[in-house]
């Protein structure tokens, strides 16, 4: 029985010692890790227009170094007075900046302090310290999204995008159903087989070209073609042949320039209505009317000849006139022959009579 009580007493002592050690360790780490405990601190008051969710106990950073905590906040005439306990003596200069920043996109705030440049005048003690307006990224993002939406809706862009999406759905559905050229290329195996055949043919063609077969293959692989082309270019450069003279001989250029000048002069005369061709091309319808009248007269004459009217018409169409003309020609030819036969006798008679 005594032994049992002794054991119980030892257990209580052990538990008590363990709890005491835990308390001592916690106290040690509390003193060690406390940012202000055991260190000289002082409070500063900063006036803000808006702190955007800053809370008591939030951290205070100087140039990115943790130097204190937010002690309290109070509203004074629509302004927020933030009291901060810091363990670093501030020396603010003109151009200083104290602002409330976001710890992360998920939330949380801290106070950021920048003392300003050391070459600027220092802020006198007791002067009111004013913080800058914090940036509300979420609010600004919401306002930006709202403005973009209003702009899209007001300018009809959103409606156009909606229509474009609807059209894209129609196109996608057509492609899915195999309609149209692209749809057939996607769904129809025959089109795919044709493409494979085209690819095979192209491979065969390129293989022939690579082996120097055909005209193009010879052009790309036969060095004699290159040699001939080089020889031709050398002849052209030396002014040999017709093309070489055209390229190198200035007289050819002069003649071409003269021809161009003559063509220009002729075109100017045609445009001004000079000459027969110019009158034909001119906007003046006088010559055209005269030619039209002459053509009409010729047409009437041709029609009269066709109908057998007039002398020429009868000559063309009446066989009796043709026969009479033929008979007359025969008689004239006989008379001429008789005259030829009697002309020597008449000449002799004239000479004989004249001698007396």
Tokens (6 digits) for 138: 């979420």
Asked if 316 and 257 sit in the same domain, the reply is no
Tokens (6 digits) for 179: 């309609």
Q: What is the pLDDT along the chain (356 residues), one digit of tens a residue?
A: 445 766 677 777 888 888 888 888 887 776 665 555 556 788 999 999 988 888 999 999 998 899 999 999 999 988 999 999 999 888 899 999 999 988 877 778 999 999 999 899 998 888 899 998 777 666 677 777 777 777 766 666 667 777 778 887 888 887 777 777 777 777 777 777 777 888 888 888 888 888 877 777 777 777 777 787 878 888 877 777 777 777 777 777 787 788 888 888 888 777 776 776 666 666 666 666 777 777 777 877 877 777 777 777 676 666 776 677 777 777 777 777 766 666 554 554 554 445 44
Question: Strands 109-114, 59-62: parallel, antiparallel or unpaired by DSSP?
Answer: parallel
The whole domain housing 109 covers 33-135
Asked if 268 and 320 sit in the same domain, the reply is no
Tokens (6 digits) for 323: 């026969």
* 145 DSSP β-pair partners: none
Please report the pLDDT score of residue 93 as a whole number. Answer: 92
Tell me if 239 is assigned to some domain. yes
Asked if 228 and 299 sit in the same domain, the reply is no
Tell me if 37 is assigned to some domain. yes
Last residue of a domain, one of 85, 105, 135: 135
DSSP H/E element including 71: strand 65-76
Tell me if 70 is assigned to some domain. yes
Tokens (6 digits) for 109: 């705030």
DSSP conformation class of 94 = T
Asked if 270 and 289 sit in the same domain, the reply is no
DSSP H/E element including 99: strand 97-102
Tokens (6 digits) for 222: 């036969």
Tell me if 150 is assigned to some domain. no
pTM: 0.35
Asked if 230 and 320 sit in the same domain, the reply is no
What's the structural domain count of the chain? 3
Tell me if 244 is assigned to some domain. yes
Inter-residue contact 167 to 175 (CB < 8 Å): no
Tell me if 17 is assigned to some domain. no
Asked if 293 and 275 sit in the same domain, the reply is no
Q: For the chain, how many helices (H) and strands (E)?
A: 13, 7
Tell me if 199 is assigned to some domain. no
Asked if 259 and 291 sit in the same domain, the reply is no
Helices (H), 178-285: 180-187, 189-210, 214-221, 223-238, 241-248, 250-272, 275-281
Last residue of a domain, one of 135, 160, 175: 135
Tell me if 295 is assigned to some domain. yes
């Amino acid at each position: 029985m005594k032994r049992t009580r002794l054991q119980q007493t030892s257990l209580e002592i052990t538990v008590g010692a363990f709890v005491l050690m835990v308390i001592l360790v916690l106290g040690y780490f509390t003193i060690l890790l406390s940012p202000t405990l055991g260190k000289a601190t002082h409070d500063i008051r900063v006036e803000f227009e808006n702190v955007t969710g800053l809370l008591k106990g939030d951290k205070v950073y100087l140039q990115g170094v943790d130097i204190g905590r937010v002690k309290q906040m109070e509203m004074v005439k629509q302004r927020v007075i933030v009291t901060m306990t810091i363990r670093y003596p501030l020396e603010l200069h003109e151009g200083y900046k104290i602002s409330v920043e976001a710890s992360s996109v998920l939330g949380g705030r801290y106070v950021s302090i920048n003392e300003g440049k050391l070459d600027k005048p220092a802020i006198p003690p007791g002067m009111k310290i004013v913080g800058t307006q914090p940036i509300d990224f979420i609010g600004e993002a919401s306002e930006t999204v709202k403005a973009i939406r209003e702009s899209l809706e007001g300018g009809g862009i959103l409606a156009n995008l909606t229509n474009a999406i609807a059209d894209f759905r129609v196109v996608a559905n057509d492609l899915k159903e195999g309609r149209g050229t692209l749809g057939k290329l996607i769904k129809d195996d025959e089109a795919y087989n044709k493409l494979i055949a085209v690819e095979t043919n192209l491979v065969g063609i390129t293989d022939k070209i690579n082996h120097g077969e055909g005209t193009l293959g010879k052009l790309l692989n036969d060095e004699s073609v290159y040699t001939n082309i080089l020889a031709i270019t050398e002849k052209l450069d030396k002014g040999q042949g017709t093309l070489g003279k055209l390229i190198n001989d200035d007289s050819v250029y002069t003649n071409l320039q003269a021809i161009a000048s003559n063509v220009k002069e002729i075109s100017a005369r045609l445009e001004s209505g000079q000459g027969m061709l110019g009158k034909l091309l001119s906007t003046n319808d006088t010559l055209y009317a005269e030619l039209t009248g002459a053509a009409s007269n010729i047409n009437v004459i041709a029609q009269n000849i066709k109908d057998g009217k007039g002398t020429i018409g009868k000559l063309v169409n009446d066989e009796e006139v043709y026969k009479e003309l033929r008979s007359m020609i025969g008689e004239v030819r006989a008379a001429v022959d008789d005259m030829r036969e009697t002309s020597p006798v008449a000449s002799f008679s004239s000479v004989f009579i004249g001698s007396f």
